[in-house]
Amino acid sequence: MSLPIFRKFAARLPWLFGALLCAGVACAQSSGVTSRADPGPPDASGVRPVDMNWPTRPLRLVVGFGGGSSPDFVARVLAAPMAKALGQPVIVENHPGASGNIAADVVAKSTDRHTVGILINGNMTIAKILNPATSYDPQKDLVPLSIICTAPLVLATTPEVWKADPRGFVEAARTAGAKWSYGTPGIGTIGHLGMELLKARTGIGAVHVPYQGNPQVITGLIGAQLQLALLPPGLAQEQVKAGKLRAIGVTSARRSALVPDYPTLQEAGLKDFELEIWTAAAAPASLPAPMVQRLTQVLSEVIRLPEVRQKLFQHGYEAAGISEEALLRRVRSDTAALTEIIASQGIKLE
């Protein structure tokens, strides 16, 4: 090729490449193909077409307590079947501290669309009411997905102060007034707020003694430093079977399959008293509705699995799988009841 002809050909190269590029784009458009680099405009819920394949990377389950805790156990029971259902790895992350509120704050502020919290009652109800300095608002910053599992609390005492029946015991507790005391894992825990609710409903005057955890509360009961406590059934049942504690009743509306021989406190004459420990899944309020619906559906399916239900039961929980609407109602009712107690008793985190 002569030099003049080569120069003429080189001068036409930019035009040739441009024409080929335009032809390629036109072909893609006519065949309905959209470039991966452009996911398209978002719809009214903020979801882009590429998000319909969500999740697109590993999902993280954020837990507010350390390894070996009940919420951590629940998260790890869910992780493998959730990963199978979603087609992506599910990784448990522990962010302990502030009774689980640190983890709840991580979830509330997450914008990666791949973060879910495994949270307890207080994180989703009265966290900000109990401590106004809490950096997230459960009512505004979290969207409930599903209650995973529940358990009642067991009102327990020692054989030395047990009376012939629950009604007789409650009357003895009223008479004792401030001479009796009750233990909890700390101020603002469900055991603390539940007992204050019980006191308000019955006229019992027992004094609160906070401990580091429920094992220390049990030691205080057995050693006669305490006369009352609301305990998880898994911890109470072992001591009751050994004859070291007596169970007055459970705080659920119906007898629990976890401890079927224990009456409810309503059976014992305490009307309209219902309180449970529950562990739930929540997402950031910013998560688009289609992703919330997908998570809710997957959680419902996973919680119904026999092996999941069995593992939770062996750990002292009944699998629930309650929908996001039912969880929202539970959050609102628990928030109202516990807020009333916090206000009337002047309870504050120290």
- Check residue 42 and give its pLDDT: 53
pLDDT at 17: 39
Q: What is the CATH number of domain 54-151+276-345?
A: 3.40.190.150
90 versus 13: which is more confidently predicted? 90
DSSP 205-217: -PEEEE-SSHHHH
Same CATH topology for 54-151+276-345 and 154-250: the answer is yes
* pLDDT of the residue at 324: 75
Structural domain boundaries in the chain: 54-151+276-345, 154-250
Average pLDDT over residues 145-171: 88
pLDDT at 18 over 60: no
The residues, ordered by sequence, that sit 6+ positions from 265 with a Cβ below 8 Å of its Cβ are 155, 166, 198, 248, 249, 250, 251, 273
Compute the 3-state secondary structure of the chain and give helix, strand, coil in percent, each to the nearest 5. 45, 20, 35
The pLDDT of residue 52: 62
Name which of 6-15, 84-93, 222-231 the model is least confident about. 6-15
Of 70, 104, 80, 73, nearest to 235 by C-alpha is 70
The set of residues, in sequence order, having a beta carbon less than 8 Å from that of 172 and lying 6+ positions away, is 161, 163
Question: Residue 34: what pLDDT?
Answer: 32
Count Cα atoms within 13 angstroms, Cβ side, for 130. Answer: 24
Task: Provide the phi-psi class of 244: left if phi over 0, else alpha when psi is between -120 and 50, else beta.
Answer: alpha
The DSSP result for 127-141, as a single string, is HHHH-TT-SS-HHHH
- Residue 286 contacts residue 264 (beta carbons within 8 Å): no
Confidence at residue 226, expressed as pLDDT on a 0 to 100 scale: 96
Structure tokens at 322: 């309650």
Domain 154-250 in CATH 3.40.50.620? The answer is: no
pLDDT higher for 252 or 23? 252
Average confidence (pLDDT) over 62-80: 93
- Whether 154 has a pLDDT exceeding 70, the answer reads yes
pLDDT for residue 104 is more than 50: yes
Which of 337, 322, 328 has its CA nearest to residue 143?
A: 328
Average of per-residue pLDDT across 61-88: 94
Q: How confident is the model at residue 28 (pLDDT cuts 50, 70, 90)?
A: very low
Q: Taking 90 as the threshold, does the pLDDT of residue 40 lie above it?
A: no
Condensed to tens digits (0 to 9), the pLDDT of residues 197-212 reads 999 888 999 999 998 8
Nearest Cα to 151, choosing from 213, 92, 235?
Answer: 235
Q: What is the pLDDT of residue 201?
A: 86
